[in-house]
Amino acid sequence: MTALAERLQDPRARARVMVLAAFCRAHASRLHARLATRRGPLPVATESHGGATIGVALKDEANFARRMADRYEVLAELARQHSDLQSAWVAELNRTEEQDRARELMMLAKGMAGGAP
């Protein structure tokens, strides 16, 4: 996300994506803390956007966030079925963060297509 932000020309859009990157780092920190105690959910590797245009890269990242939100929804349900309410809470928190990130990135991508983020 930070690399994606650095490619943006508009300072406001760059700042928005940098804030999303900070949320991603906090998200990863929570997951790593849970792994240290041998509790899930496990983190998922990030995808690289390579040479994609900035609009395509933003859409790709938004779609990735949607897929992660769906995965966290499944993890939360499994945790509830196993009476692991703490893991269910973390999965739900991560799910809502991914949904918010997807919406924000899609709005930025549409702004790129329209000429102004």
pLDDT, tens digit (0-9, with 9 covering 90-100), for 61-97 = 999 999 999 999 998 999 899 998 888 888 898 899 8
**Per-residue model confidence (pLDDT) at position 48:** 57
Residue 44 contacts residue 28 (beta carbons within 8 Å) = no
The residues, any chain, with a CB within 8 Å of residue 107's CB and separated by 6 or more, are 117
Q: What is the mean pLDDT of residues 51-56?
A: 80
Please give the model's pTM, rounded to 2 decimal places. 0.70
How many folded domains does the chain comprise?
A: 1
Residue 4 to residues 12, 19, 49: CA-CA distances in angstroms?
Answer: 14, 12, 8
Q: What is the span of the domain harbouring residue 60?
A: 1-114
Segment 15-51, tens digit of pLDDT: 988 888 888 887 777 777 766 666 655 545 555 555 6
Q: Which of 67, 68, 57 is nearest to 108 (CA)?
A: 57
Residue 100 contacts residue 19 (beta carbons within 8 Å) = no
Q: Which of 82, 3, 6 is nearest to 49 (CA)?
A: 3
Distance CA 110, CA 96 (A): 21
Quick one: pLDDT band at residue 117, thresholds 50, 70, 90? Answer: very low
